[in-house]
Structure 1
């Protein structure tokens, strides 16, 4: 079953999460039976860097500037927002339907998590959080749990976690450039 788009440019996405542990990136510990990813990147220091980074994460700018194509049902991450992230081009383009599970819009913590929907190459959840710590440093953290959901991600085996970690590092570098402006 397909849910209609939630806004201009939104992709229709299949309804229903493809995993049972919805919200686990917020509550931790991450569930067993999945590959776990936790990657932190120092973005910079100060309130301006924090605000720029938080805005870039929650308005999809970080994903877009990293080279991903984003179709989202809202201009900013909100629970229930349908999102499609696509990487690659032509026949090598891989689309990943997701839905925002939770958001954080706090004084020193901003971010969100999305969960996979039917049709996503993986099954699980990924969060993107910017945090300003007591010393003024601003950190970007990607936390995820996932397992293969399609034949090609199962066939790729141990290569998938390596690619996920490389993409998390790429997002961190992209966000550092955005936040420095």
Structure 2
């Protein structure tokens, strides 16, 4: 087992309590599959994983392996995510790491479709939703889709303009590559 496949470390109790008490920063009614409100960017990218067991891929998805394999440090209130799970993702090292707090707001675990959506929390550089979905194709392969709708939430993210969008696209490509192996 490599370090990315080990269970994610738990959030410290105080951090978990703070994130659970926080309100999501995504506006009410925001949806990844609808026309975004002014100022929000919506995107969706997908890859076909090849002949792969949907349930095995979902086990990886629901245990934060996608985020870990994409290079993020993950601390979660739950080893296997459920609605209400809070997670603190870290991009980078040490004090310079960007903190990315989120709350899982939807989980779908149906035959042929496995997905979850998380919403941003205060201190997240963006404000919005991101959805990770696995679905079975007609020929038995698995399709992995990452969709998001967001806008910059911090001054640094707003100042980044096209660089912020490029960073978001870069992370999405890393997410999509995380289940291809």
Q: TM-score, normalised by structure 1?
A: 0.85
Structure-2 residue corresponding to 1:9: 11
For structure 1, the residue ranges without an aligned partner over 5 or more in a row are 1-6
Higher relative contact order (CA 8 A, sep 6+): 1
4+ aligned runs moved over 4 Å, structure 1: none
Mapped contact 2:30–2:128 kept (Cα < 8 A): no
Q: Match for 2:164 among 154, 160, 163? A: 160
Tell me: CA distance 1:62–1:24, structure 2 relative to 1, closer, same or farther (3 Å): same
TM-score, length-scaled by structure 2: 0.85
Count of residue correspondences: 167
Aligned to 2:6: none
Q: Distance in 2 between matches of 1:30 and 1:103?
A: 22
Name the SS of the counterpart of 1:119 in structure 2.
coil
Q: Distance in 2 between matches of 1:105 and 1:74?
A: 17
Which residue does 1:169 correspond to in 2? 173
Q: What 5-or-longer segments of structure 2 have no aligned partner?
A: 1-8
Superposed, 1:68-107 pairs within 5 Å as 68-107=72-111
What residue is the counterpart of 1:144 in the other structure?
Answer: 148
Report how far residue 166 of structure 1 moved: 1.5
